[in-house]
Amino acid sequence: MQKKYLTYIGLVLIHVVLGFLIFLNSKISIPYQYAILSLGLLILLYSQDKENQVLYICGYVVGSEVLLRMTGGALGYEIAKYSITIFMLIGIYFSGFSKNSIPYWIFLFLLLPGVIYATEVLNLESSIRKSLGFNISGPICLGVSSVYCYQRKISLKQIENILLSILLPIITTVTYMFFYTPNIRTVVTDTNSNFETSGGFGPNQVSTILGLGLFLIFIRVIFYSKSKKIMILNVVLLMFIAFRGIVTFSRGGMICSVIMIVLLLIVLFRVTKSSAKVKIIWTIIGSFIAFVLIWGYSSFQTNGLIDKRYSNQDAAGRIKQSRLSGREEIMENEIKIFLENPLFGVGVGKAKEDRVNDLGTSIASHSEITRTLAEHGTLGVASLLILLITPLALYINNRYHIYLLSFYVFWLLTINHAAMRLAAPAFVYALTLLYVYGVEKPKEIVNNNNAA
């Protein structure tokens, strides 16, 4: 067991050092990207996906996406979605897929008319390839990943390793961010999303991935901290990730992570015995205390501006008119487009073009739901219903999957404030479709880990 702990600590230290090295020379992120893709491909071809290795590889791609974008190491803006799609197809080739995954083949089929229509209606000034890639790569990644994951049997131990593969590069990301902006007080001057505290990159995307990382490290705190050394390490990581996520001043990712944690605790409370419920209550109390401490420190470091941000106020304390940073106007515009083109929509990428005439801006959508309605019409409604209903239907006979509802909420909330700019919501959604089994039942896991 001790060797296992040292291995975990070693992995964390390697990724902390990697974050520091990338800060010293951001060009290191380029060979890092090549290493992820080439090693991932070699591992997959050698193993032939006999132990679902593709999920570990894709998990690591998801965790590293924001870091590679912010440091210029990404081979292309959508490379994470493309590579996950390719890896998943290779995994399907080697290990097959469930014959019951028909809903997601239908989902992929429903995307085609919008893509075909877009090639006819997009303006000549637009780059059709880039427009389609930006808007449709996420849904395709989700669809292919869902076909692979649908009712695929996987153990709780494998779930642990998949989630760790996502977490490790997020630790690298937050390490890089620390060295990029070690002094928060000097760069926070208002209540807007802050690029300086976000590693010089988009706060919305950074907040999203750090929110996911916060949930993943919380899992390790309550389930996989069987020694004091590991517990201290995980608690420190949790508080550090939470702090850096909060001071991005982008609320979506942090609010989402809190809801995910609450849902997980509710699920655990329902599946555990009475004796274990007491320990869960103590976990809740401890989490609340940690939250108060982290928030208090964040408030101190930002001179109280973070309190105003989450109260929807500007630096002077005045209530802002928009509660969603102007996203309401874009969503209303896309609903209007849908109502005017209800059958097939206006085609993939066309809604952004039409916004120039309607609103005088070409800002991309932040809501995947309203974008899908506007660009795919009634077919988009059908595809959304497939995505919304299927995981919940599977949950009825998949109660060992204690993370399912949290993953589902991450996908649903993220696509409503950050669309599918990242591969994370697509991949995490697919994880809800796994059929989880284990030698230990969830209630036994809680008892054993809390007793350690």
Query: Phi-psi bin for 266: left (phi > 0), alpha (psi -120 to 50), beta?
Result: alpha
- Could you read off the pLDDT tens digit of each residue along the chain, which spans 452 residues? 455 555 999 999 999 999 999 999 999 999 999 999 999 999 999 999 999 999 999 999 999 999 999 999 999 989 999 999 999 999 999 999 999 999 999 999 999 988 888 777 776 455 667 777 788 999 999 999 999 999 999 998 899 999 999 999 999 999 999 999 988 988 998 888 889 999 999 899 999 999 999 999 999 999 998 889 999 999 999 999 999 999 999 999 999 999 999 999 999 988 887 777 788 888 889 888 999 999 999 999 999 999 999 988 888 778 876 555 567 788 888 888 889 888 888 888 877 777 767 666 667 778 899 999 998 999 999 999 999 999 999 998 888 899 999 999 999 999 998 889 999 999 999 999 999 986 544 444 444 333 33
| CA-CA-CA-CA dihedral for 47, 15, 142, 134, to nearest 10 | -120
Paired tokens of 171:
């630790």
Q: What angle do CA 190, 193, 198 make, to 5 degrees?
A: 115
Residues 56/160, Cβ–Cβ less than 8 Å: no
Paired tokens of 176:
């890089």
Residues 327/113, Cβ–Cβ less than 8 Å: no
Would you tell me how many other CB atoms lie within 10 Å of the CB of residue 213? 28
Residues 73/33, Cβ–Cβ less than 8 Å: yes
The span from the CA of 178 to the CA of 245, in Å, is 11
Residues 147/390, Cβ–Cβ less than 8 Å: no
**Strand partners of residue 154:** 436
3-state secondary structure of 367: coil
3-state secondary structure of 324: coil
pTM: 0.92
Helix axes 442-451, 274-301, angle to 10 degrees: 70
